Chain A
Amino acid sequence: MKTKQVLLGHGSGGELSHDLIKNLFVKYFDNPILRKQTDSALLELKAENLAYTTDSYVVDPIFFPGGNIGKIAIAGTVNDLAVSGAKPLYLSVGFIIEEGMLISELEEIVKTMAEEANKAGVMIVTGDTKVVNRGKADKVFINTSGIGVLEKDQIDISTGENVKVGDKIIVNGSIADHGVTIISERNELNLRADVKSDCACLNHLIQKVKDSGSQIKFMRDATRGGLATVLTELVDEREYGLEIDELNLVVNENVRGMCELLGFDPLYVANEGKVLMVVAAEDADKVLEIMHADELGEKAAIIGEIVDEHHGKGWVTTQIGGKRIIDMLAGEQLPRIC
C-alpha cells in the first residue's frame, strides 16, 4: 500500500478503497464466499434454526496484553453464538476508522482477526469500511455480526427454560482478567500489573461439552458487568435462586491485588473468554473433566448451584463464611472495556 496512514479516501469507494480491500481485507480474510466480492454474501444453509447476533467493539486501548480489538471483535461474536447453543459459521465485519490511523496497526488487527476466525472455524463473508475525520472516532471501532446453526434440542439453552433446583453452576476458569488488564494498560494510575486478557473463542470448548451428551441447561458468556450480572440474569423472576461460594471462584493473584487496590469486586469485572454453564448435577463432574483437558478450561470449577430458596435472587457465601446478595452493577464501572 502506498501510504502509511489511513486517509479519508480509503473510505470513499474509489481507488484507495479498493486498494485497502484487496491488499488487506481480502488478503487476510480470504475464503470462497468473500472472494466473489458480491454486494451480499451468498450463503447456503441447511438448518431450520439459526442464531444471529451483532456487537460493536470500542475498546481503549486497541492493543493490550492477551489480544487486541480485532481479537475481541471475533471472539465476542463467536462466543455470543456458541453460548446460545449454536455452531458459529459466518461473520460480517464493519470498520469505522479514524483518519490518520497507521495502516500497520490496522493490518495487525486484521491479521489477528483472520487468525482468530480461522482457529474458531468461522468465515468472514462480508464487510464494510468507513473512514471518519480525525477526532470523530478513536483509532478504530469494529462491528461484527454472526450467524450460527442451532439444533432443535439446544433452543432452550439461552433462555434457561430447563434449569432446575440442584443443577450445578460451572465457570471455565479465572475471572476479572480482561477488565483488570484494560485498567492496568490505561495507566491513569501509574500502576502496571503483570496481567493478561482472557480474550478467546470458546466455541470448540463448548462443542466438546455438547458432544459428550451432557445436559447443558443454560449458558452465557460473562463479559461487561462480570460474572455477577450473568448470575443475576440467570435467576431473575424465576421460581428458584442460586448460591455460590466465593472460595470456589478462581481469581489470579495479580488480578486480585489490582482489584483490592482499586476497590473492585472481581465478580463485577469484565471477562472476554469465560462461559457460565448450568448443567445437570449428574453431569457436572464429566463436564469439569472435559473442560480441564482443554487449554481454555484448565481452571474450570463448580462455583455453586441452583437452590429452592430466595427465589429470583443469588446469594454468595463470602470468603469468611458470611452471606450477601449478588446484584447487578449500577451504572458504568469503566467505559470502553470491549
Chain B
Amino acid sequence: MKYIDEYRDRELVLELIEQIKKASTKNITLMEVCGGHTMSIQKFGIPALLPENINLISGPGCPVCVSSRKYIDQAVAYARLDDVIITTYGDLIRIPGSTSSLDQEKANGADVRIVYSVLDALKIAEENKDKKVVFLGIGFETTAPSSAVGVLNAHKMGLENFFLFSSHKIMPPAMAALIDEGVQIDGYIAPGHVSTITGAGIYKDVAEIYKLGCVISGFEPVDLLRSILMLVRQLEKNEPKVEIEYTRVVKPEGNVKAQQMLEEVFVLEDDWWRGLGILPKSGMKIRDKYKQFDAEAMIEVEVEKTKEDKGCICGEILKGQKNPKDCKLFGKVCSPSDPVGACMVSHEGACNAHYRFNRN
C-alpha cells in the first residue's frame, strides 16, 4: 500500500535503528505528546528496538484523557434532557463520569449518536428541528477546525437547534507547563496532525526559551524513528530547534484557512487539564458572536457534583512522571473492559496502549 509499506519496511527500520545507536551517546528521555504517536509506538513495538539509553514517555496527548470529568458529567446531564440529541465521536461514549457515562445513559434511553463528522451532526439537527442537537467538541488543534466548520455552517444554514459543547484545547501551553513543573525530558516528538493545522511556529518558544528540541513527526514507524534520530542529532550537538520530519503533510506555515476559522469562532481562555491544573489561555471558548451555538451558554442544565477517582494516577501519567505500570490500579481493577480513568478508555490513552500492547 502506497505511503504505508515504505514507512513500515523492516530493513529500513533496522537501518535507522543502527544509525540511532551510532549517533547517540547520552542517556535521553523523549516525550510524545500525541495519542496517535503513543498508539503507533506501542502497536509496532518500537521501544523493544531502541537502545537502552533512549527512553520514550507519553505526555498529555490524548484529548479525552486531559479533559475534566466535569465535561463528561455535563454531557451526561445534557443527554438526560428529553429534548436533546447528543452527537459525539465514538471514543467519548465509554468514558466514565462521576456516576454515569454516555453509553449508560444511552442504555437508559437517552438519544446518544456516534457520528464520524460534525457534518453528520448538522444533518441530524436539520432532520430533528424539534430537538436540540449537541455536538461534543473535544480535541486539540486537529479536531477544533471541524467544530469551527460546524458552527460556521450552522450559522450559514440558519440552524437554531445546533449547539457545540467545546472542550477544545491547544497544545503549546501544556508543553511549556510540563517543563515548568520540572518534568525531566530532553526533547519532544511533536504532534503531526496538530502541526498540520498550526504549522511549526507554535513550538518556537519551547525550542528557544526552554531549549528543548521539537521534531514534528508522522505516525508510521519510519517517521517516528527518523524523528528520534533527528532529536538525537540535535542533542548530541546541543542545538535544540524545531524541525519537521513529516514534510509530506506538514507545511511550516500550517493550514492558514483552518487557522482563520479557529480565530473566527474561538477565543482562548484559561482551561483545566488533568494533571496540570489550570493553564492560561489553553482552552477554546466559542466567541460571543456565535454564542447562540454555544451549548454551555444556551442550554441550562443542572450538573451533578464532580467526583474524581481515588488512587488513579492519570494526572502523573499524563505528565510523564509515572508509567502506567506504576499505578496500583493498572491491570487489576482498571482495564479497558472495566476502566477507572480516561487514560484506560481512549485508544490513544497511555494506559490503554500499554495494557493492550505491552503488558508483561
* B residues lining the A interface (CB < 8 Å): 1, 4, 8-10, 13-14, 42-49, 94, 116, 221, 335-337, 347, 355-360
Is A9 part of the binding interface, using a Cβ–Cβ cutoff of 8 Å? Answer: no
- Known A257-B1, A319-B10: A325·B336 in contact at CB below 8 Å: no
What's the nearest-Cβ distance from chain B to residue A119, in Å? 35
Cβ contacts under 8 Å, B94 to chain A:
331
- A324 with B337: CB separation less than 8 A: no
- Known A324-B45, A330-B337: A319·B8 in contact at CB below 8 Å: yes
- A331 with B221: CB separation less than 8 A: no
* A residues lining the B interface (CB < 8 Å): 188-189, 247, 253, 256-257, 260, 263, 265, 310, 313, 316-325, 327, 330-331
Cβ contacts under 8 Å, B46 to chain A:
320, 322
- Extra contacts, 20 of them, besides A263-B347, A322-B221, A325-B360 (Cβ < 8 A), are A256-B1, A260-B4, A318-B43, A319-B44, A321-B14, A321-B45, A321-B49, A322-B44, A322-B47, A324-B43, A324-B44, A324-B357, A324-B358, A325-B356, A325-B357, A325-B358, A327-B355, A327-B359, A330-B356, A331-B94
Cβ contacts under 8 Å, A256 to chain B:
1
- Known A253-B1, A260-B4, A263-B347: A323·B336 in contact at CB below 8 Å: no
Question: Is the contact region of chain B dominated by helix, strand, or loop, or is it mixed?
Answer: loop
- Known A318-B44, A322-B46: A330·B8 in contact at CB below 8 Å: no
- Interface centre among A189, A260, A319, by most chain B C-beta atoms within 10 angstroms, is A319
Alpha-carbon distance A327/B359, docked complex (angstroms):
9
- B43 with A325: CB separation less than 8 A: no
Alpha-carbon distance A84/B157, docked complex (angstroms):
60
Residue of A nearest to B3 (CB): A260
Cβ contacts under 8 Å, B49 to chain A:
320-322
- B336 with A330: CB separation less than 8 A: yes
What's the nearest-Cβ distance from chain A to residue B240, in Å? 28
Alpha-carbon distance A317/B336, docked complex (angstroms):
23
Cβ contacts under 8 Å, A324 to chain B:
42-45, 357-358
- B1 with A265: CB separation less than 8 A: no
- A321 with B337: CB separation less than 8 A: no
Within the complex, which residue of A188, A320, A323, A330 is in contact with B221, where a contact is CB–CB below 8 Å?
Answer: A320
Residue of A nearest to B338 (CB): A330
Residue of B nearest to A263 (CB): B347
